[in-house]
Amino acid sequence: MQESVQHLRWTESHMPLMADIRKEYEVKRPFAGLTIGVSLHLEIKTAVLLLTLVRGGASVVAVGNYGTTQDEIVDLLRDRGIDARGSGSDHRDEHLAAVRSVVESSPDLLLDNGADLYRLAVDLGVEVLGGTEETTSGQTRLQTELVDLVHVPVIVVNDSPLKAIVENKHAVGQSVYESICRLTNLQPQSRQMLVVGYGWCGRGIAHYARANGARVCVAEVDEIMALEAAVDGFRVGTVSSLIGECDLVITATGAPSVVDGEALSDVRDGTLLANAGHFDWEIDMPALDGMTVGTEELGNTIERHTLRDGRRVDVMARGRMVNLAGPRPKGNSIESMDLGFALQARSLERIVEVHDSLPLGAQPVPDDINRDLARRFVEAAQGRPLAQPPGDRSA
């Protein structure tokens, strides 16, 4: 516990936006009397967010995402009065029961990561005022399977250009690259890497890897993103056309089975597979298991699959997010999560204030929140005020 407390203090000291919000909440108490149901990766930066919401008067009932919960953070949160549920060692059915129990606790607001809480609220008939969604994957669900079912405003934090730039591009690029190096203890120089998806996350991963000496190619299905990858200097193709040339494959699409059975049949001996996307479905693990005659655990979440013809395929964290996997994962940078969680806190406040007049369903972070936090982020990073633009928008 003492180590978690020290870690919390270090983290808080590098989250200036959240520190300002906490100070303000002590007076304003925007969530007084409200319960917030939360599904987020339970790690130290999330603890800062949840403790800030509590400072704003909220009761918080929280669950982690499957396989990424850090048990020492659950203990820390419980010690600080937050109802944190689940454990990193939970099997899928135990995890789903914990997610369900959060919705059954009748929250007033939801803060979701992948739209599992919204799905369950619909299925269980639990009414909320509205809430937020953290990820691209959750946004996709809200705009497809849940589009006619969620009748409350949901601000999609992932839609914010601030989050896309600071977290998805820069922080995910850094943390995925750093996690793979740390967990494998291998160096990137001279490796041939395939990044699947050239959206915000894929771009960051591809650029970080190339800047550190890897040879990188990109698989992308969207012609415009493929064009961008090509003019950024990456060779572009389909997964099947490129996978046989690569030592390391990283998926970052949000879509299922982007490395499917057909692509897996072309991997070369010794290929390492890792996923950065939200769900553990981007690498088709059932297909790989079906091709496998034997597996061996090699530590640090690496599982070696031996195929019928003797080729070996190594998979990190069984396709779960690699930057939250393994011993003592760090996730994305503190600075990026300071910004992302400030967007969360301000968006939840907005839902409380004006949920009756907001459009229903998924919607972007209001522009004034983006601009205010962008300004504060730059000012905190540079240690001096940012000049007001002509025709000051914040006036």
Ligand X SMILES: NC(=O)c1ccc[n+]([C@@H]2O[C@H](COP(=O)([O-])OP(=O)(O)OC[C@H]3O[C@@H](n4cnc5c(N)ncnc54)[C@H](O)[C@@H]3O)[C@@H](O)[C@H]2O)c1
Minimum CB separation of residue 393 from ligand X in Å reads 26
Question: Do the bridges between strand 59-63 and strand 35-39 make them parallel or antiparallel, or are there none, so unpaired?
Answer: parallel
- Cα-based angle 374, 375, 378 (whole degrees, multiple of 5): 85
- Give the residue with the Cβ less far from ligand X, 82 or 317: 317
DSSP 337: H
Round to whole Å and give the CA distance between 344 and 155.
Answer: 9
**C-beta of 56 vs 329, nearer to ligand X:** 329
User: Closest distance between ligand X and the C-beta of residue 164, in Å?
Assistant: 6
Question: What span, in angstroms and rounded, lies between the C-alpha atoms of 39 and 133?
Answer: 9
| C-alpha triplet 368, 386, 363: angle, nearest 5° | 20
The least distance separating ligand X from the CB of residue 303, rounded to whole angstroms, comes to: 19
Whichever of 126 and 239 has its CB closer to ligand X, that residue is 239
Please, which residue, 95 or 163, has the CB nearer to ligand X?
Answer: 163
- Rounded Cα distance between 375 and 346, Å, is 14
Place of tokens 């180590």: 3
Helix (H, G, I), strand (E, B) or coil at 218: strand
Least distance (Å) between residue 200 CB and ligand X: 4
Where along the sequence are the contacts to ligand X (CB under 6 A)?
135-137, 167-168, 172, 196-202, 219-222, 225, 239, 252-255, 258, 276-278, 321, 323, 332
Between 31 and 279, whose beta carbon lies closer to ligand X? Answer: 279
Residue nearest to ligand X (CB): 199
CA distance 84 to 71: 10
Taking the least distance from each CB to ligand X, the nearer of 82 and 321 is: 321
Least spacing, CB of residue 220 vs ligand X, in Å:
5
Beta bridge partners of 192: 215
C-beta of 167 vs 335, nearer to ligand X: 167
What's the rounded Cα separation, in Å, for the pair 378 and 374?
A: 6
Distance (Å, whole) CA 100 – CA 310? 43
**Residue 87: CB minimum distance to ligand X, A:** 21
Q: CA quadruple 211, 214, 215, 218: dihedral positive or negative?
A: negative
In this structure, what token pair is assigned to residue 13? 């000291």
Strands 312-316 and 302-307: antiparallel
